[in-house]
Amino acid sequence: MHIKEVRVEYARRPHAERPIRDALQTLSGGGHVAVEVIADDGLVGQATTSFGRGDGAPHTLAVLIEEELAPKVVGQDAERIGQIIESLKAETEYHGTDGIATFGISVLDVALWDLLGKAHGVPTYQLWGAYRDRIPAYAMVGWSNYSVDELRRQCVLAVEEGFRGVKLKAGAPTLEEDVHRIESVRAEIGPDIKIMVDANQVLTVNEALRRGEAFGDLGVGWFEEPLRADDIDGYAELTRRLRIPVATGENLYGARAFRRFFERRAIGIVQPDLRRAGGPTEIRAIGALAAAFDVPYASHGGGPAALSLLLCAPSAIWLETGLRASPEAFPRLEDGCALAPAGPGFSWE
């Protein structure tokens, strides 16, 4: 089976009237890029990635995939995904494989694994050898721009939908505001639901130590991205000194970047992002490294490909997702767990 054609489409996301916010940024605009990888026998692998904040971002990524990456994919043996991915890394090395090029490579990687699952007539996770058929799922619902009342309502909705964990944005101007938001949610949803917090890189080491102690006292499940994503010394210090697990990884590119964090003991819970870490091919290596270093692995972001990877990673603990648009929407939940995709490739229904 060889790749005959790669099709690329993109769309802008309309600007929200009231955009969501975390401690670092306002998330509005951007959009998505969809790819189809078509094999010579007519089978189609599909994947979609969200990208950017500016209006022109999706178009920029689409051009990179169409003009630079797709020509290297066409004609290659679809069974040799590793070889295809290595050729794309080599192709983009001159201007930098990290960053936008990795977004392009990752979405193609997802489409190729979707195609391979379909070619074998099985969900892709079955090709990888699963450790489990479900994984606990939590909902990221606590955006910084929500009032405390809105925050509480969102968390109640998540619990009503069946989630056993919620994540709140932290990194407010003061520790007292962070604590007030966490305590308000805890009072509303009771002691049995996990609460995680995420500061999106805005704190100093000293402030992160102070807040991490307080969050630990409140029973928070993990303290995510307190520092700039590349501050490996800072993360090593926090991981050593705080009782609460320090989670990071959503802004790291490629397994080698993760390896450095593992080697330095600078990561308490690893959170690869499907788009930035480099797609399933790279994340499977990161999952193996995490297990070898005894580091639990929680996804950054959800979707059927992220779920499939968690099913096949020895130390996986949580799938991240958001509130579901409808009871039929992804993921299928049972007892707080997302159930394995049922269809071929990454088809989940």
Active-site residue numbers?
169, 300
Residue nearest to Mg ion (CB): 198
d(CA 175, CA 210): 8
Secondary structure of the chain: what % helix, strand, coil (to 5)?
A: 40, 20, 40
Min CB(276)–Mg ion separation in Å? 11
Q: Closest CB to Mg ion among 23 and 110?
A: 23
Among candidates 311, 251, 278, which has minimal Cα distance to 105?
278
Min CB(87)–Mg ion separation in Å? 31
Among candidates 236, 190, 251, 185, which has minimal Cα distance to 215?
185
Q: In which element (H, E) is residue 155 found? A: helix 148-161
d(CA 216, CA 61): 40
Q: Closest CB to Mg ion among 229 and 307?
A: 229
d(CA 75, CA 254): 25
Min CB(238)–Mg ion separation in Å? 15
Q: Closest CB to Mg ion among 111 and 309?
A: 309
Q: Closest CB to Mg ion among 29 and 301?
A: 301
Question: Is residue 343 within 8 Å of residue 123, measured between CB atoms?
Answer: yes
Q: State the residues that interact with Mg ion by CB under 5 A.
A: 198, 224
Residue 73 CA: distances (Å) to CA of 23, 89, 302: 39, 12, 26
Min CB(225)–Mg ion separation in Å? 5
